[in-house]
Structures are given as C-alpha cells and as structure tokens.
Amino acid sequence: MEAYVKFQRDSGKKGGSIRVDTGCITSLCKECRHEGESPAKAPDVRDLIRKYEEDDGTKTTAAFDFLTDLPKIWAACWSAPWDSSTSLMVWCMFLIAICLMARASDVTQFCPLYEDMKLPPAPLWGADGLPGWIDIGLW
C-alpha cells in the first residue's frame, strides 16, 4: 500500500487526493468484508499521506464561513443596482445552489422554515409585481 501511495505522489497527485483514493480502498475493503484492518489505515501509510498533505507547497483555501460570509453576500445582493424582483431571484437561486451542493443544513440557518413559506397565486401579487411572500421547495 505504501508503494501505491508513493506512485500516486510521483504521478503528481496532492496529499488530499491521495487521502481520498486510499479512503476508497478502505470503503472497498469494508464492502467486501475484508478480514482485518484496511491496508490504507496502516500507520506507515497514514504517516506518509499526512507528510504529503503537509508538504504540498500550497495553502488550503479558507472554507466558506456561513456565519460571517452569508450576511455579506446577502447585503451585496440586495444593494446591487437591480430591481427588487431581480435581487429576489438571484438570492433564491443562490440559496437553491447551496442546497444542490449538499449544504442544505447551512441554508436552513438563514431561511424561514418550509412550513412558514407559501406562494400566493399570481393574481394575488402586489402592485409592484412581486409576491407578498415566497415558497421555495426542492422536490
């Protein structure tokens, strides 16, 4: 297994990608009911992968922090030189995109609950052409 990890590194893969690949091997071992510990979990293999991760020569990009970044994006969206319906559409598209990226749990902290949202039929929309309230759902 150590030779495989070194081959991956020599092929140009970074430490994180090698960790994902060896994680796949561990999953396969579990799925096939391999007796004993996965070879990818051997201490020498884990140490080698950790060394490669620390020695990639690149800095990890900071993760998107919903508590600090989402309010900034909301402010930028609603202060853009668009009409309110465009801002509403862009904001909804952004929140749906987060859900589609499997981050729905993050969105729920910044949206009303589904039970609290509804969309009136078009004739009941306001004079500005916008609904008084919105129902966003993913099926």
Residue 104 pLDDT level (bands cut at 50, 70, 90): low
Query: What local confidence, expressed as pLDDT, does residue 138 receive?
Result: 41
Please answer whether residues 30 and 70 qualify as being in contact, where contact means their C-beta atoms are separated by less than 8 angstroms.
no
- Is pLDDT of 3 > 70? yes
For residue 35, the 8-state DSSP code is S
Q: How far apart are CA 139 and CA 66, in angstroms?
A: 24
Query: What local confidence, expressed as pLDDT, does residue 139 receive?
Result: 37
Query: What local confidence, expressed as pLDDT, does residue 68 receive?
Result: 85
Terminal C-alpha separation, the chain: 43
Q: Is the pTM of this model over 0.75?
A: no
Higher model confidence: residue 125 or residue 119?
A: 125
